Amino acid sequence: MQIAEALQAAAARIGREDAEHLLLHVLGQSRGWLFAHATDTLDARRFNTFERCWQRRAAGEPVAYITGERGFWTLNLKVTPATLIPRPETELLVELALARWPQEAAWRVADLGTGSGAIALALASERARAQIIATDASQAALEIARQNAASHHIGNVEFRHGAWYAPLAGERFDLILSNPPYIEAADSHLETGDLRFEPRTALASGADGLADLRQIIAGAGAHLKEGGWLLLEHGWQQGAAVRGLLEVADFADIATVQDLEKRDRTSLGRWAKAQ
Ligand SMILES: C[S@@+](CC[C@H](N)C(=O)[O-])C[C@H]1O[C@@H](n2cnc3c(N)ncnc32)[C@H](O)[C@@H]1O
């Protein structure tokens, strides 16, 4: 069978974009290669591998769990069902952090709930003098994050296991970031699409989706240096609630930043109090 025919058969079931992505993964090729080789023959072994991949996708499994990887910032990261699949929206958190972080500053930074390591590793790749601690309550996710650091030769991220600030006792940071779980526990979206396959502990956070954000905001003052920043991703309907929590916790310079779709996505505040 020709490559173009195999692609067409898969595209009819799972759509062109996913079919291409999976075929290129199986062939270990880039998109440009595909156009020049559409009439090449796909041998039986690779056709069978491709067919197994698109059948998994047709059964609902996310493409990133089938290929075992996902691009984030400039990095290709390993992902497994133990980790959230990093989202493009989360790159906004990285952009906002870098905009506040002078190139040569040797900031101490904490990434809470690091998952695949996406945020911590993106920041480390941009700030050679950073000292970053990335935490997660999931040992399985931390193992993947450690592998991602090693495969990108990133040595200035330390991974620690534990709930929110528990692994950071007595330490203060110039910047704390988190993309925590923030979906309402009863939200029916958790039972649909790719979310069905991702760890529930990475997604859901109490009845109103704010249980983890509350803990992270309430605990931040004890772990920020004077003038340090707290940057948080949240749901697009949670901007006002998160700003309210930052106010109650006595943060200054509170703001919400919208994503490219003009939805509230990230809120931030500055810890202005002396230690
Ligand atoms: C939405 S995912 C974000 C993962 C990654 N930062 C990203 O943006 O792709 C939330 C992460 O928080 C972790 N997590 C959930 N509850 C936690 C807790 N109580 N303490 C620390 N980490 C937690 C989950 O294991 C998961 O990796």
Q: Are residues 141 and 267 in the same domain?
A: yes
Q: What is the pTM of this model?
A: 0.96
Instruction: Please indicate, yes or no, if residue 67 is contained in any of the structural domains.
Output: no
For 143, residues 6+ apart whose C-beta sits below 8 A from its C-beta are 82
Instruction: Please give the Cα distance from 70 to 78 (Å, whole number).
Output: 7
Tell me how many domains the chain contains: 2
Per-residue pLDDT of the chain (275 residues; tens, 9 = 90+): 899 999 999 999 999 999 999 999 999 998 889 889 999 999 999 999 999 999 999 999 999 999 999 999 999 999 999 999 999 999 999 999 999 999 999 999 999 999 999 999 999 999 999 999 999 999 999 999 999 999 999 999 999 999 999 999 999 999 999 999 999 999 999 999 999 999 999 999 999 999 999 999 999 999 999 999 999 999 999 999 999 999 999 999 999 999 999 999 999 999 997 76
* Cα 13 to ligand 1 centroid, rounded to whole Å: 33
Instruction: Specify whether 37 is located in the same domain as 100.
Output: no
* Whether 119 and 188 share a structural domain: yes
* 175 within domain boundaries: yes
Q: Is 45 within a domain?
A: yes
| CA angle centred on 273, ends 272 and 275, rounded to 5° | 130
In a domain, 205, yes or no: yes
Distance CA 125, CA 116 (A): 15
Q: Quick check: 18 and 193 in contact, CB under 8 A?
A: no
Pocket test for ligand 1, best of 121, 139, 160, 179 (most atoms within 8 A of CB): 179
CB 77 within 8 A of CB 85: no
CA nearest ligand 1 atom 20, residue: 163
Ligand 1 site, CB within 6 A: 84, 86, 90, 113-116, 118-119, 135-138, 141, 163-164, 179-181, 201-202, 212
Backbone φ, ψ for residue 153 (5° rounding)? 55, 40
Express each pLDDT in 134-165 by its tens digit: 999 999 999 999 999 999 999 999 999 999 99
In a domain? residue 53: yes
Q: How far apart are CA 44 and CA 24, in angstroms?
A: 16
55 and 150 in a common domain: no
Q: Which residue, 44, 59, 74, sits at the end of a domain?
A: 59
Q: Which domain holds residue 20?
A: 3-59
229, 123 in Cβ contact below 8 A? Answer: no
Same domain assignment for residues 24 and 92: no
Measured by CA distance, the residue closest to atom 14 of ligand 1 is 113
Let me know whether 194 and 260 are in one domain: yes
35 found inside a domain? yes
